[in-house]
Structure 1
């Protein structure tokens, strides 16, 4: 690669990696949703390409939520285990109360937190991609099935493990 192409490749990679930050997702998602709702099907300019790439990175980053229930449930448990360890460190070393999702004392709220995560982040982006490209509907439908299972757990009911 020549130096200019290399710099551009690095810029694109950096942007893609930063797009996995949910703060970036929330800043950009409304612009993406508006384009999809208008029926945008050409992603040929750099701004639109960057927006699309960022939303795809978010969709990939949270894709465990669309996997079969037992896989998705295990991934959620592993992620929350890591969050709880970080929360424990914040409580122990910094003498600060961690945010709810990192607070081991609130582990019983995991199903409710998962429903909020799905409703606030996952379903909106997967619905937009399903609208844009119908072949991606399984991501939205798998996420909905998992949402239903987390909702059942939050209500003290059994999840439908066959979904």
Structure 2
């Protein structure tokens, strides 16, 4: 596990370079150039702009992340060899899988849409590029990126509690437990099977032993990816927040002295770590530049209030929480909620995340604190 740097000069110069890259591209009419500039922003990434210039932003962002961190499996051009064709076919099927996942996100939903999935996927790329890649093996990296892509697929814009209270079919199917998250896992795995991502379809002539070995490796990869999907996505249920922190803390303690997560003795501990990283990525939008973070805060507030509107229309005697009651909403509601979430959820999460990716965490906490102060200023201004 990595040590934090003693100097911030390199990171600050990198941010200056990113700013220059973005400003140079603002008037560029080529979407590819715009996408590249936006991707170079690191933790300052703006998913709203990226979504506006990309026809399929989740496919685009995931392809970039796959190609960057798994170059042996995902490259733009290959020599025409049978081995290369097999890898190209795998990449093609993964892209089909991402496309199916992206189509399940509803743009009519304010927060849990493909812009959010794009933001979380880029967040994973940011962490991989700031120390996490060296901690993981290839299959773990692949699975982690997939969890980001699919972690909210098919989200209905309603909370688990709402689905339980309305006795929805989904709630019945999952026995009222992690209703949304179980649905996300199920959809993701069904899409993997439909796209035959893990089927070995290389048609060259090989010995039966070699074919058997390759089939076994594909099956092992599929089993690992599915296990990580289930563990990580189920941990994104906010009801599992405290449990996840405790599980991750215990995993860290059991593996003190190990150089990297991939060397941890128990695969369950590795999967917990990946779930922890995904959870941190899922709540990273509060660490984006102020205008972006502010917009995310407003969108989640609006999504909550729309749920409350539905609850009132259904005649709920008691709403599922004050946060969904539009009658209680003010101009600073989203700021109050953002501050509470930052202080009680994000900061403690990232405090532990420093144990594995300190280089990634420090800029996030700095930006988060800046945003919290901006929110506080808005509240103070409203009280004058």
TM-score (norm 2): 0.38
Residues 232, 276 of structure 2: 8 Å contact kept: no
Shift of the 46–90 alpha-carbon distance from structure 1 to 2, 3 Å rule, reads same
Number of paired residues?
A: 158
- Structure 1, unaligned stretches of length 5 or more? 159-163
Shift of the 76–39 alpha-carbon distance from structure 1 to 2, 3 Å rule, reads same
Please give the alpha-carbon distance, in whole angstroms, between the structure 1 residues aligned to 2:377 and 2:256.
37
Which residue matches 1:112? 336
Structure 1 residue 27 and structure 2 residue 252: aligned? no
- Structure 2, unaligned stretches of length 5 or more? 1-197, 199-217
Structure 1 residue 60 and structure 2 residue 281: aligned? yes
Secondary structure at the residue paired with 2:246?
helix
Shift of the 48–125 alpha-carbon distance from structure 1 to 2, 3 Å rule, reads same
How far 1:3 moved relative to its partner? 4.0
Please give the alpha-carbon distance, in whole angstroms, between the structure 1 residues aligned to 2:249 and 2:279.
14
Please give the alpha-carbon distance, in whole angstroms, between the structure 2 residues aligned to 1:21 and 1:3.
28
Please give the alpha-carbon distance, in whole angstroms, between the structure 1 residues aligned to 2:221 and 2:354.
33
Shift of the 152–33 alpha-carbon distance from structure 1 to 2, 3 Å rule, reads farther
Which residue matches 1:161? none
**Aligned ranges for residues 136-155 of structure 1 at < 5 Å?**
136=360, 137-155=362-380
Which residue matches 1:82? 303
Structure 1 residue 134 and structure 2 residue 355: aligned? no
How far 1:131 moved relative to its partner? 4.6
Please give the alpha-carbon distance, in whole angstroms, between the structure 2 residues aligned to 1:10 and 1:38.
24
Shift of the 37–102 alpha-carbon distance from structure 1 to 2, 3 Å rule, reads farther
Out of 50-59 and 91-100, give the one that drifted further. Answer: 91-100
How far 1:21 moved relative to its partner? 1.1
Secondary structure at the residue paired with 1:97?
coil
TM-score (norm 1): 0.82
> What do the CA deviations read for 1:34-74 (whole angstroms, capped 9, x no partner)?
66589946331223212211111111111111100000101
Please give the alpha-carbon distance, in whole angstroms, between the structure 2 residues aligned to 1:141 and 1:38.
30
How far 1:81 moved relative to its partner? 1.1
Residues 87, 104 of structure 1: 8 Å contact kept: yes
Taking CA–CA contacts closer than 8 Å with sequence separation of 6 or more, which of the two structures ends up with the larger relative contact order?
Answer: 1
Shift of the 151–30 alpha-carbon distance from structure 1 to 2, 3 Å rule, reads farther
